Amino acid sequence: MPKAPQKKRNSAGKAGPYAHAAAKTNAANSIFRMNTDIGQHVLKNPGVAQAIVDKADLKQSDVVLEVGPGSGNLTVKILEKAKKVVAVELDPRMAAEVTKRVQGTPEQKRLEVLLGDVIKTDLPYFDVCISNTPYQISSPLTFKLLATTPAPRVCILMFQREFAMRLFAKPGDKLYSRLSVNAQMWAKIDHIMKVGKNNFKPPPAVESSVVRIVPKVPRPDISYDEWDGLLRVAFVRKNKTLRSSFLGTSSVLNMLESNYTTWCAQNDIPVEVGPEEDGEDEVMGDDQEDADLDELMDVDDDEIPDFFKEKHDPASQAVKTKPSKKRGKVAKLVREKISEQECVMKATF
């Protein structure tokens, strides 16, 4: 029996099971979707990438740390000038991509890819750091680099523009903050260039800037806990004088009195500790003011990572009370000295 003629299937107009995904991939012109939640914005402009590498003044003997290499656009340009690149990448897909980028080339042996979170990773020795930094780790990465021993010679880092401007802000600038003072205490920071959002794929929501960070060698010989504690008080409120910041709460004044008394004892300086002769009863301690201070001092904690923060003072956990006592001579002397320092700083700036 002859077979009935069958209609030929027109497969040309019918999509296969992977057609939608392929079309989506081709439309995005990418091998995979970028995860912008972890700051994946690949620098696609080769001119900008070359300018960043040039600003590092690399030597042929340099080992370069690159954070977030992405698809390797910066990596290959660094390898042209440096001895070795250590690239730290969080995304396994990106790590595979940058490895594939140099596979089968002489540069393959000079690239080491570390998979993981750069903030939690024990980094090997490096001379220079170059990074198109994921914006979510801008502050932790900055202070991790400043805490690295031995200190890198220079760091060329791409940041969100506002964060970058806060890093190199000067006294009197609108963005001058505790972050500015902290970073500039440990390094010399310069602005190199602005980078528009269209130089990335996919474009971020904000503009970017590149900064040069040169750590100070030797590092300042100070106690970071005490230094950061001072800044927390000084920057607790904007548009407030130092005198108001230091004398606005009893907890700060009591601390200054105690420190001054200790310093005088260590240096054999006599100091009268009795009450003022004409002093009136003063309520030492304002619960609301101290509570406001504690709250405001924690506003920008995310700027400084845990390994750079001071430990919480157990004394600050104590229940605050309102003891009534005579205003002491030491308190008066401390107030006078703070006023003198305020006048000096006004004359300086």
pLDDT tens for 169-199 read: 999 899 999 999 999 999 999 999 999 999 9
Closest CA to 247 of 260, 259, 234: 234
Nearest to 327 by CA among 248, 273, 251: 273
Contacts of 323 (CB under 8 A, 6+ apart): 284, 285
Binding-site annotation, residues:
41, 43, 68, 89, 117, 132
* Other beta carbons within 10 Å of 70: 25
What is the per-residue pLDDT across 54-106, written as a single tens digit (0 to 9) for each? 999 999 999 999 999 999 999 999 999 999 999 999 999 999 999 999 999 99
> How many whole angstroms separate alpha carbon 276 and alpha carbon 327?
6
The residues with which 188 forms a beta bridge, in sequence order, are: 214
The CA distance from 43 to 319, in Å, is: 52
- Evaluate whether the domain defined by 22-215 bears CATH number 3.10.129.10: no
Distance of CA 252 to the CA centre of its chain: 27
Please give the backbone phi and psi of residue 153, each rounded to the nearest 5 degrees, phi first: -70, -40
Which amino acid, 83? Answer: K
User: Distance between CA 175 and CA 166 in Å, rounded?
Assistant: 5
Contact 329, 275 (CB under 8 A): yes
- Phi, psi at 45, each rounded to 5°: -85, 110
Please compute the mean of the pLDDT values over residues 256-271 and round it to a whole number: 82
pLDDT, tens only, 94-141: 999 999 999 999 999 999 999 999 999 999 999 999 999 998 999 999
Q: How far apart are CA 155 and CA 145, in angstroms?
A: 8
Q: Which residues are annotated as a binding site for S-adenosyl-L-methionine?
A: 41, 43, 68, 89, 117, 132
Predicted confidence (pLDDT) per residue in 197-233, tens digit: 999 998 999 999 999 999 999 999 888 777 887 888 7
Distance CA(196)–CA(27), nearest Å, equals: 23
- Could you tell me the residue ranges of all domains in the chain? 22-215, 224-348
What pLDDT shows up at residue 332? 77
Amino acid symbol at 209? S
pLDDT in tens, 308-332: 554 334 444 444 444 444 556 777 7
The pTM score is: 0.69
Distance separating alpha carbons of residues 144 and 154, to the nearest angstrom:
14
Is 108 in contact with 81 (CB distance < 8 Å)?
no
Q: Are 195 and 158 in contact (CB under 8 A)?
A: yes
